[in-house]
Amino acid sequence: MTIVGTGLSGLVGSRVVDTLGKTHFFQNMDLSVGVDITNATQVRDFLSKTDSDVVIHMAAFTDASKAWEQRGDTAGACYKVNVVGTQMIAEACDAFGKHLIHVSTAFVFDGKTEDMYEEEAPLSPIEWYGETKAKAEEVVQKICSSWTIFRIDQPFRQDPFPKLDTLHKLAMSLKAGSATPFFNHWFAPTVIEDFAYALEWASQTKPKGIFHATVNEKVSDEDLANLINQQHNFHAEIHPSDLLEYLKKATRPYQQNTALRSDKLRQAAPHLPFTSLREAVARVDFSNL
Ligand SMILES: NC(=O)c1ccc[n+]([C@@H]2O[C@H](COP(=O)([O-])OP(=O)(O)OC[C@H]3O[C@@H](n4cnc5c(N)ncnc54)[C@H](OP(=O)(O)O)[C@@H]3O)[C@@H](O)[C@H]2O)c1
C-alpha cells in the first residue's frame, strides 16, 4: 500500500515507518514536501495528487508543558497544529475520499478514575495539550465520513531515539544507580512496534470508531521501574515518590491515571501482535543509554 502519513519523523511515526516500511510505501506529508499541515491549500494540493486512500495523522504539538504556557491561546502553535492542522487534514480527506486514521492520547481524560478508561468514556481534559487533542478528536468525527481514532499512552520503542520515551528515561536513571518513580501515577503503555501493525490493519480495513492501543495492563511508574530493573539486571536502588506531593509544586496539571483498556482492539483484530509488557520491556535495547 501507499500510505500518506504526518509526523513520520517523530518518536512514534519513525518507528512505525521502520516496522512497516518494507511492505508499504510511506509518503510523509510535511514541510520537506512543501506542506504545512495548517495550510488548507497545501494539504488539499498534496492529497489531491496522491494515489493513497488512507492518511495516518500523527503530527502534533506534543510538549504538554510548553502547551500549558499557551493555554487558551487559539492562535498558539499547540492549538494550530493539533486542532487547525487536524481540521485541514480531515476536510481534505473527506473531499478526496480518503480514510483518516487519527492518533490521539490518553490525555483527553482527566486521570481521576481508578479503573482503566474505555473508548466511550466522556472526554475530560485537564490541561491544554489534552484539550487540543480532545478537540481534534471531535473535529475528525464531525468532518470525516471515513475515520479511525487510536488513543495511545506513554508509547515506547525497542531502540533508542533522541526524544527519550518513558521507558528509556526510567532506564537511564536505573542504569545510573537509582530512580525515584511515582508509586501513585498509573498508565498502560503502548508498544510502538505492535501499534504499527494496528495502524496497518486500520489502513487495510478502515474500521469506523475509536480504539485504545495499549498493553492493557495498568502499572505505576514504580512497577515499571521494578520490571526494567529485574529484566535488565540494573541492580538500581528504587525510592518510590508521591505524585501528589510533586503536584503541589508542579507548574501544570497532571493526570494521575491514564491507563486505557484495549479489549476493543483485541476483539476486533485478534490476529494482531499484543506483546505483554514483560516481554516488550525485556526486548528493549538500553545499550546506548
Ligand atoms: N509521545 C507520547 O508520549 C504520546 C502519548 C500519547 C499520544 N501521542 C500522540 O502520538 C502522536 C505522535 O507523537 P510523537 O511522540 O511521535 O510526537 P513527536 O516525537 O513530538 O513528533 C511530532 C511529529 O509531528 C510533526 N509536526 C509537529 N508540528 C508539525 C507541523 N506544524 N507540521 C507538520 N508536522 C509537524 C513533527 O515533525 P518535525 O520533526 O518536522 O517537527 C514530528 O514528526 C501525536 O499525535 C501525539 O499526540 C504521543
By alpha-carbon position, which residue is closest to atom 20 of ligand 1?
A: 62
Q: pLDDT at position 288, please? A: 86
Q: pLDDT at position 217, please? A: 98
165 Cα: distance to centroid of ligand 1 (angstroms): 13
What are the beta bridge partners of residue 226? none
58 Cα: distance to centroid of ligand 1 (angstroms): 6
237 Cα: distance to centroid of ligand 1 (angstroms): 33
pTM of the complete model = 0.98
**Nearest of 152, 260, 267 to residue 216 by alpha carbon:** 260
3-class SS of residue 193: helix
235 Cα: distance to centroid of ligand 1 (angstroms): 34
Q: Check the CA dihedral 18-32-58-185 and report its sign.
A: positive
Report CA-CA distances (Å) from 141 to 68, 100, 202, 210: 25, 10, 16, 10
Q: pLDDT at position 289, please? A: 86
Q: pLDDT at position 122, please? A: 98
81 Cα: distance to centroid of ligand 1 (angstroms): 10
Per-run averaged pLDDT (10 residues), the chain, 289 residues: 97 98 97 96 98 98 98 98 98 98 98 97 98 98 98 96 95 96 98 98 98 98 98 96 96 97 98 98 93
Domains of the chain: 2-163+189-215+260-275 (3.40.50.720)
Ligand 1 atom at shortest distance from the alpha carbon of 62: 20
**Nearest of 179, 192, 184 to residue 227 by alpha carbon:** 179
3-class SS of residue 103: strand
By alpha-carbon position, which residue is closest to atom 12 of ligand 1?
A: 58
Only one residue has cell 487519527, namely 102
Ligand 1 mutation pick, 4, 6, 8, 12, max ligand atoms within 8 A of CB: 12
Q: pLDDT at position 68, please? A: 98
- What residues does ligand 1 touch, defined as CB less than 6 Å away? 6-7, 9-13, 30, 36-37, 58-62, 81, 103, 105, 133, 152-155, 163
Query: What are the cell numbers at 42?
Result: 497545501
